[in-house]
Amino acid sequence: MSLAAEEILELSEQVLRSSNKMKGIEAEMVTAIALIESSGNVKAYRYEEHLGEASSGLTQLLQSTAKWLAEDLSYDEYELDLYQPASSLYFCAAYLCWLKTYKSVTRSDEFVVRGYNGGPNGVNLEATVPYS
């Protein structure tokens, strides 16, 4: 099942409105990540051989990253089911929030979106260029 851009944007807005923890993250950014990562496919799956783990769901987040966000950083307002569109968008936004103030420094939107794909230490990788 795939969602259109408008559906993802509407759901992103709902998720962000319903959360007490999302600060400074725009629904358009979350939507763009979902479209880049999965083209709107809520069942998207990509094995990351170099990590020995798979990215899954609408926003192609690693299960371990979502678990870390929920358990260690208390982003626990949604279930850890990345195949549920709202949960996938929630954990995407949570990760973007964390990147926004990585190492207690306010980061640019470019750092945040490139860091989403390459991690905070991979923002200058060639693979993250499509995110800028």
Distance CA 110, CA 11 (A): 23
| In a domain? residue 93 | yes
| In a domain? residue 22 | yes
| In a domain? residue 121 | no
pLDDT score for 56 = 96
C-alpha distances in Å from residue 49, one per residue of 54, 104, 126, 127, 131: 8, 31, 18, 15, 21
| In a domain? residue 128 | no
Average pLDDT over residues 56-60: 97
pLDDT at 79 over 80: yes
Distance CA 108, CA 111 (A): 5
| In a domain? residue 111 | no
| In a domain? residue 92 | yes
Give the number of domains in the chain.
1
pLDDT score for 128 = 52
**What is the residue range of 39's domain?**
5-99
Per-residue confidence band for 117, with pLDDT thresholds at 50, 70 and 90: confident
CATH number, residue 65: 1.10.530.10
pLDDT score for 123 = 59
Per-residue pLDDT tens for 35-44?
Answer: 999 999 999 9
| In a domain? residue 116 | no
pLDDT at 14 over 80: yes
| In a domain? residue 27 | yes
